Amino acid sequence: MAKNQEKTLRVGLAGLGTVGAGTFKILQANADLITRRTGVRIVVTAVNARNKGKDRGIDLSSVEWVDNPIDLASHPDVDVVVEAMGGENDPALSLVKTALQNGKSVVTANKALLAHHGVDLSRLSEKHNAPLMFEAAVAGGIPIIKMIREGLAANNISGLYGIMNGTCNYILTTMERTGESFSDVLEEAQKLGYAEADPTLDVGGGDSGHKLVLLGALAFGCQPDYQNLSVEGIDRLSAEDILIAGEFGSRIKLIGQTVKLEDGRILQMVSPCLVPRTSPLAHVDGVLNGILSQGDFVGLSFVEGRGAGEGPTASAIVSDLMDLANGVNGPVFGIPADQLQSSPSASRDDWTGEFYMRLVVQDRPGVIAEIAPILRDHQISIESLIQRGRSADQPVTIVIITHQTTGKNIRLACQEIADLPSVLDDPLTLPILKI
C-alpha cells in the first residue's frame, strides 16, 4: 500500500453496480469516522463502469472516469484497486493481476475469481508485496474471513458449516412458511430482487461452493479446489420434504461444509441438509447467512448476519480498505502461497452420517419388499419409515431415515432403487447434520 504525504489512500473503483456504488456511498457518508479510526483519508480518485451516463445516485463530478478498467491498475493517482465487477475471468482477472504486478493493493468481492485463480493471485500478491483482500467475497456483512484468519488463528479447525446463500435461504424459509412449491417461491424471489433472472448459480449451489473453497483454504491451509467440490442445489426439494423434516425435529437448509477427515483428506460439499432445531444453523432465516466453526481450543463459534446486498458487501470492502490504511499486509490465505497444500480431496461418497431418503413409488403391495434388500446389500439400515398419500392410481411418497452410513453406500443403493419399475422418480437423499 502506498500513502502520500497527506496520509491519503487513493482508490480506483472498477464497477459501479450495487456493490461499487455502495462502497462509494460509505466512503463519502462515513468519511470522518473512517479517518478517525485509521488516521488516513480514504478517497475514490478514479472509477470505471460500463455505462458512464447511468444515474447511480452518487456524485462522480470530482472523480476521474476511466474508460478501460485495466487502466486503473497503472493509474498514477491510484494506490489500491477495488474490483467490484464480478466474473471469474476477464476483465476482472486481468485487472487484478495487472494491479498486483504493479504493486498496487487490491480489494475484491469476487469469490468466483478467487475460487478459480486464488493460488496464482496469492503468489503475485506476495511477489510484488501488494496485499489482496477479500472479506466481502464470503458472507457479506459477516467478518468470517477475519474471524478465521485472525480470531481463530491459534486453533486447529476441524470443520466449517455454513448457510452462505441468501437466495436459497429465503426460498427454503418461504417454502416452509407458506407451503408453496420451489418454482412458485423462486418466481416470487425474482420479483422481489432476491434472486437473479438466471438463478442457476444460486439455487444450484455454485455460489455457496465458491465461498466454501475460500473458507477451506483459510481453515486448512489448502489450495482453493473448486474442481473437486461436491455440489447439489435445492431445486429438487418439495414443500412436502420441508414438512416431513419438521416432523423429525429438523429444518432443511443449504449447507456448505468443509471438514478435515481423520485420514487428512479435506471434504468440501454443498448440499441441502436436515439440520436439527437444536443447531444455531436451523434458526438462520430469510436472506441471512450463518456460519458455524469448530476449533480445538475455542470449540464451536457461530456468526450470523446479512450476507449480500449493497450495505453489507460494501461495508466489508471498506473494512478491507481500512485495514490497508492501517498497514495490514499478510498472505492472502493466511500462510504463504507456496505452503498451501494440494490436499487429497474427499467427496460426498466419503460423508458419514444419517440420511433422509425420499422415494416416489407406485401404490401397490410389495414395494417396500423390493427396496429393503437393496438397502441391506449396501449396508444401510432403516431407523424410521413413513408413507404419505394413498389414492387410486396416484403415486405415494416413502421417506426413510437411515442409521449411520456413507454417501457412497447411499449413492449405489439409489442407483439400483431408481431402476425398479415401481419407483417413479430418482430418489432424493439429504445428509442429516448432527451439529
Catalytically active residues are: 211
Strand partners, 399: 358, 386
- Comparing CA positions, the residue from 188, 199, 263 lying closest to residue 235 is 199
- Comparing CA positions, the residue from 247, 214, 255 lying closest to residue 231 is 255
Please give the Cα distance from 243 to 23 (Å, whole number): 41
User: Which residue bears the cell 474471524?
Assistant: 147
Those residues with Cβ within 8 angstroms of residue 299's Cβ, 6 or more apart along the chain or in another chain = none
**Cis status, amide bond into 91, omega within 30 of 0:** yes
199: left (phi over 0), alpha (psi -120 to 50) or beta: alpha
Those residues with Cβ within 8 angstroms of residue 14's Cβ, 6 or more apart along the chain or in another chain = 20, 47, 48, 49, 69, 72, 81, 82, 83, 84, 85, 92, 95
Integer angstrom CA distances of residue 145 from 310, 320, 332 = 19, 11, 10
For residues 251, 253, 256, 260, the Cα torsion angle rounded to the nearest 10 degrees is 10
Read off the C-alpha cell for 2. Answer: 502506498
Those residues with Cβ within 8 angstroms of residue 300's Cβ, 6 or more apart along the chain or in another chain = 292, 293, 294, 435
- Comparing CA positions, the residue from 328, 317, 333 lying closest to residue 136 is 317
Residue 212 amino acid letter? L
